[in-house]
Structure 1
Amino acid sequence: MSWILSAAEHTSMLAQVNNFTPEAPPGTRGLTKLVQWLMWFVLLSGVSAIIFAGGRFAWEKWHGGMLESPKMVVGALIGGIVATSAGSIMNAILDV
């Protein structure tokens, strides 16, 4: 009978645990700035890749070569979608 009371006591203690939210440790301002710069670079390279693939598409179409640039456009678009939604993806994975 005492183990039932002990189990009930532990269950009530588990119900009192707070739901904590993540917080950046002190001194991470520089790291946050670096991540923001990296995200800017990724977005810039994605836009550049789409512009390059569009120009290559026109070049291939004009000269009658084999069209490989649509794969480049699709790859750049998928990469951009993954890069810009990285924060949402990590929140979905870690929010278990």
Structure 2
Amino acid sequence: MELLHHAAQVLADIPNPTPSAPPGSGGLMKILGWAAWVVFGLAVLGVMMVAGKMMIDQKAGHGGGQHAQSLAMVLTGCIIASVASGIVGGIVTAAGGMA
């Protein structure tokens, strides 16, 4: 029990600095913003393309089921893009870095 108390005290003494952007990082943030805009624009386009393919196949008398996998892949990409910073932050934190 004393070992746990000692370990908790050691962990409490470790500094946890707040991450902050370095000077001059405004340009990088602008590029990341543009990249996010492009990625999410492509995601919307991907969903619309899959929907169009499903409608064409349905009109032609085919089922639209084969496009469900395409839609799942597009939506999975959307989810990954949406949580990209959280994923990277979690990996950096787990590796012992700051995030």
- TM-score if structure 2 supplies the norm length? 0.72
Q: Report the CA distance between 1:48 and its aligned residue.
A: 0.9
Aligned length: 85
Q: Report the CA distance between 1:66 and its aligned residue.
A: 6.4
Match of 2:29 in 1: 32
Match of 2:74 in 1: 76
Q: Report the CA distance between 1:65 and its aligned residue.
A: 4.0
Q: Which amino acid letter does the alignment assign opposite residue 70 of structure 1?
A: A
In the alignment, which of 40, 44, 49 is matched to residue 47 of structure 1? 44
Q: Report the CA distance between 1:21 and its aligned residue.
A: 2.2
Instruction: Give % identity.
Output: 30
Larger radius of gyration, structure 1 or 2?
Answer: 1
Write the distance in 2 (CA, Å) between the matches of 1:15 and 1:89.
Answer: 26
Deviation string, structure 1 residues 9-36 (Cα, Å, up to 9, x no partner): xxxxx97552222222211101100101
Partner secondary structure for residue 74 of structure 1: helix
Partner secondary structure for residue 18 of structure 1: coil
Deviation string, structure 1 residues 20-79 (Cα, Å, up to 9, x no partner): 222222111011001011101111110110011001001112213464322211111000
- Provide the aligned C-alpha RMSD in A: 2.3
Structure 1 stretches of 4+ moved >6 Å: none
Structure 2: 5+ residue runs without aligned partners? 1-10, 95-99
